Amino acid sequence: MNSAGGLIGFWIIALLTLHAANLGETNYNFLNEPNVPFPPARPTVRNLAAICHCGQGRPRYLASFFPSSGASHFRRRGSAINRLESWYSLCCSGQVAHSSSQILCCARQAWHQALSQFCVDEFSVMTVPYLCCEAKGDARWMCFNSELPNPNYYPVPDYTAPKVPLEPGFTFNPYAC
């Protein structure tokens, strides 16, 4: 009887574990926290077309998206995504970069600058900062480019981003490519 009870207990735990696991199909949050997929992937030759052509299909995080109190770390993530998407639109528009290699360079500069600003924002509050912000140099960028929720910058089906103003603070340096 003990071995049967142990086997049943094992299966119950196994089923509960599988039920609670995030299998990549859903981002259900038991704590009712806002879902802000973070961090964004580093721009590459492979994802640049999606960055430039599917931008309006990726979420923006307006103030109304977040609860009225708490969730400040999610707000900072949402602000970083909004800033980055704004700067990507500048890179992809043809206003500051013209060739595909310049557009990629611009997008990478935007990615670095947006995540650098995110880390500044993280360290400006008295909470534990995002793990990658604690790393220095190349280790920081490798950390940010790991465990990505949307490495290919796929749009969200049936979603159109709201109009948001261009975020100030980004200047593309074509000589840094």
Q: Is residue 13 part of a domain?
A: no
Res 63: pLDDT: 86
Q: Is residue 17 part of a domain?
A: no
170, two tokens: 């980004």
Complete DSSP assignment for 138-172: HHHHHHHTSS-S-TT-PPPTT--PPP-PPPS----
Res 15: pLDDT: 37
**pLDDT (tens digit per residue) in 125-150:** 988 999 999 999 999 999 999 989 99
- Res. 67 pLDDT band, cuts 50 70 90: confident
Res 134: pLDDT: 96
Q: Is residue 146 part of a domain?
A: yes
Q: Is residue 172 part of a domain?
A: yes
Q: Give ∠ CA 33-140-151 in degrees, rounded to 5.
A: 60
> Is residue 120 predicted with pLDDT exceeding 60?
yes
Contacts of 134 (CB under 8 A, 6+ apart): none
> Is residue 52 predicted with pLDDT exceeding 90?
yes
**pLDDT (tens digit per residue) in 71-117:** 888 999 999 999 999 999 999 998 888 899 999 999 999 999 999 99
Distance of CA 31 to the CA centre of its chain: 20
132: containing domain: 38-176
User: Whole-prediction pTM value?
Assistant: 0.79
In whole angstroms, give the CA distance from residue 41 to residue 94: 22
**pLDDT (tens digit per residue) in 5-39:** 554 544 444 433 333 333 332 233 445 678 899 99
The CA distances from residue 115 to 6, 21, 50, in Å, are 49, 29, 19
Q: Is residue 27 part of a domain?
A: no
Number of domains in the chain: 1
H runs (alpha helix) in the chain: 2-20, 48-53, 72-92, 100-123, 138-144
Assess whether the previous peptide bond of 155 is cis (omega < 30° from 0): no
Res 16: pLDDT: 37
